[in-house]
Amino acid sequence: MTVLALENVTKAYPGGFTALDDVSLTVAAGDLIGIVGRSGSGKSTLLNIMGTLDAPTSGTVRVDGVEAGALPDRRLATLRGSRIGFVFQHFHLLDALSAADNVAIALLYTGVARRDRRPLAVAALERVGLGHRVGHRPQQLSGGEKQRVAIARALVHSPALVLADEPTGALDTATGEAVLDLLVELNRTERATIAVITHDQGIADRLPRRITLRDGRIVP
């Protein structure tokens, strides 16, 4: 089943700069993809469009079969919140909240009853090996643990697609490898569909499917 389809997507800006140029890409359920390219290749723009955070100048984006460009803002936000999970390089956790509450935030706009949010958040933390850290706040966690909380937050609502933007970029080499191992394991055991956006060819080479961007285009 196709969970994301980009068809002839172009993103152009005033002044003649084209960040993405006629990009077509399909992500199937269960895929684990590395999207790799140097700075300025169009990776961040592609991430924003895949995640419906930005709209293309032309072309279509379908998430779980729904054309994103055809939706009003509120329905688009609902689609994004329910069908896409995000993992960011710098975690984006709220310091005042526990690990469990940081994860539960992802359930606010999914229709999950308040009483059910914490149990689901705790279960998600257990899936990433942090069942013993549910009550800890971000400042009490290591960098690797913070990223595991972010991964649990991305997975807690069972999204169709997880977008991981440089998920190892703020971590040392050993911790980054452990986080990547976790993503690979979640894909293998739970069939989580994950796209890892990275500048690191070594990371992309560890993943079963690789897409290379150069100057806004997908290259062989």
Question: Where residue 157 sits, what CATH number does that domain have?
Answer: 3.40.50.300
Residue numbers of the domain that contains 116: 2-219
Amino acid at 121: A
Q: What string of pLDDT tens digits covers the 220 residues of the chain?
A: 999 999 999 999 998 899 999 999 999 999 999 999 999 999 999 999 999 999 999 999 999 999 999 999 999 999 999 999 999 999 999 999 999 999 999 998 888 999 999 999 999 999 999 999 999 999 999 999 999 999 999 999 999 999 999 999 999 999 999 999 999 999 999 999 999 999 999 999 999 999 999 999 999 8
How far does the chain reach from its first CA to its final CA, in angstroms?
Answer: 24
pTM over 0.85: yes
Count how many domains the chain has. Answer: 1
Alpha carbons within 13 A on the beta-carbon side of 119 = 5
